[in-house]
Amino acid sequence: MALTLWHTAQTHCATFDRLRDRIAPGLELRHVVRPEWLARSQGGVPADVAAEIASAAGQAEGPVLCTCTTIGPVAETVGALRVDWPMMQAAARLEGAILVAYALDSTRDVSLALLDRALEQEARHAEVRPLPLTQFWPLFEAGERMAFDASIAAGIREAARRVPGLGCVVLAQVSMAGAAPLLDDLAVPVLSAPDLALRAAAEM
């Protein structure tokens, strides 16, 4: 089976290749990298980007996984699996408040809406605390991954202390997944999208 992945950052190719080797070694991955989709969608996904996404869906053979949170809602309308959906489902099944960390403003509303959908599916109410960490995004854009991961982890660690009854932390973007291992000692689960999404896609 082949799985097509839509990325908006080249670095995600290696991330998912490593995951594939660990959890689904027989799975063929076809990477499509379109950074301009994200660049052009900071104020919402425009019609021309939506048209390009629809065209890409028509050309794909087999299932598609969209690894960009910002364009996820549009990708979903053409049949792609949103990378953050399995993660939001997992968060909705846990007890306690949910801290949603994000590093791009364009991620905020789509992530919170998807989490609301997952909570509704589980018939559960939870306190949801958005945590903007947008000041660190330039580090990711500059390729300073270690500094980006460390900054995201530090921001989450500080915020987590201020959330009573915290049940889990959600890393809203694939780009933030590197912060998860730095938070292993946190008292609650830290959920990142890539692993959960690839497992779900492999089962499609």
Q: From the centroid of its chain, how far is CA 87?
A: 8
Cβ–Cβ < 8 Å for 98, 170? yes
Instruction: Please report the pLDDT score of residue 90 as a whole number.
Output: 97
- Tokens found for residue 59: 């050309």
Q: What is the pLDDT of residue 101?
A: 98
Tokens read off for 98: 């949910």
Report the distance separating Cα 82 and Cα 60, nearest Å: 15
CA-derived radius of gyration, the chain: 16
DSSP one-letter code for 31 = E
- CA nearest to 132, candidates 162, 101, 155: 101
Residue 4: CB atoms within 10 A of its CB come to: 21
Q: Are the C-beta atoms of 63 and 177 separated by less than 8 Å? A: no
Neighbours of 49 (CB within 10 A): 19
pLDDT along the chain (204 residues), means of 10: 92 94 92 96 94 94 94 95 96 98 95 97 96 97 96 98 96 96 96 94 84
> What pLDDT score was predicted for residue 26?
87
Q: What is the pLDDT of residue 181?
A: 96
